[in-house]
Amino acid sequence: MLVVMSGVLCAILLPAATARAADGTPALVTNLTGLLHIVQDVPCDDDVDTISPVTGGRIELTPAEGLTVGGGKLFGLTRVNVSFQSFSISRSCRGFDERRDYSALSVQLGGAVAFTAVESSPNVFAIRIPKDRVWIYEAAIIDGEPEEKYQKPSQDVTGTIDLATGAFSMHVVITHTIHFKAGCTIVGCIIDEQDNGAITADVSGRIAFPDADDDGVPDRDDNCRFTANADQSLVRTPRVDAPADVTLPSCLDRTIGWAVGSDICDGGPVSIKNDAPPRFRQGPNTVTWTATDAKGRTATDTQLVTVIDKAPPAAACTPTRPLGTSFVVTGSAACGESVLTLGSYFIKNGEQIKIEETGQPGRARASSSRRTDLAIRRRRSVDIRTEKGGAPCRGSQTRSARC
């Protein structure tokens, strides 16, 4: 005879165009109060009219404050789970006595349902969900035996969502018919009749809006949703953490790491850049990392990059065409300018050198575009040395090219 509602919850799928407008976090309706009103006609006109108060449960609305659509706010009713106080009913009719004990009474939603709530006054929205779109799972333990079934409400589900004060209410009505039979013999039954009944659930509660950082300030009112600040003091966002200080062996080395940035208040995207030059200086270099969030707010952090130059310079002799005894001399150094020398003579970077025989054994003449005669001792070979910053190259810092 008693029927109550329950169900497994599922999330509603929001359209892609509207999903970006909210993060989908549900609001929980807690501190539930209300009544389950059972009215049932029975034989002998001793009708049942019983009230069972709400003892607990919760309701979920997704997203917490709905999505603004034409005509109101779009919500998903994703969970209804309400329990009621146990009770007993006993009746006597035409010499027959019967008692029923009802316990573990629960009212739940049989499946998630989306609906549009219409604004009836500022920030107050009226609920009306067509009855054919709602499934109710009814469950109870009657005289120690479980009884459960699914059915639809007999009226549209109605209620109110007050986003201003956080109040919520819902009204559900289910009607049914019970067949009573008693005192039956081969000639008939003393009691044999169909009687109508109705169960009405009126539930209300307080909307607990999401509080992502658990600081006691709902996200809707929090000036920094993802970092606790109960006093609403200013929280600087975004945040950026530069990589650790590094020491590099070359001014051209770029292995300085990467900074980590985050929007610690709104959780939005953050872009990161730095002001590192194409070529570092020898010694200490300060690199500033800057993070920018979606609202244009910035934060900076610095990193120390120290260069201890260990990279040898490079020299190259490139033959000219047509192939002969001329070639172009080039040199480079990772830190600073390179200095090219031929013996005791300095050569410009990119200068063309020409080698000529002198007719004297073991000697040759080298001439450049500057028409300077250079006497060298190694026949048909030139020892080109490149130096860094004008200092003579020694050991691993010396490169020679034979042309």
Q: Which two tokens stand for residue 358?
A: 């002198």
Interatomic CA distance for residues 188 and 268, integer angstroms: 75
- Tell me the HSE value of 364 on the side-chain side, using a 13 A CA sphere: 16
Tens-digit pLDDT profile for residues 51-80: 999 999 999 999 999 999 988 999 999 999
For residues 75 and 43, the model is more confident at 75
Q: How far is CA 85 from CA 82, 140, 170, 234, 295, in A?
A: 10, 11, 18, 47, 51
Least Cα distance to 373 among 359, 360, 387, 356 occurs for: 356
Exposure b/e, 39-58, CB count within 10 A at least 16 = b:
ebbbbeeeebeeebebeebe
Which range (32-41, 141-150, 174-183, 321-330) has the least confidence? 321-330
Identify the architecture of domain 239-307 in CATH: Sandwich (2.60)
Q: Select the highest-mean-pLDDT range: 21-30, 79-88, 178-187.
A: 79-88
Tens-digit pLDDT profile for residues 112-151: 999 999 999 999 999 999 999 999 998 999 888 999 989 8
Task: Count other C-beta atoms under 10 Å from residue 224's C-beta.
Answer: 22
Tens-digit pLDDT profile for residues 95-108: 888 888 989 989 89
Interatomic CA distance for residues 64 and 68, integer angstroms: 12
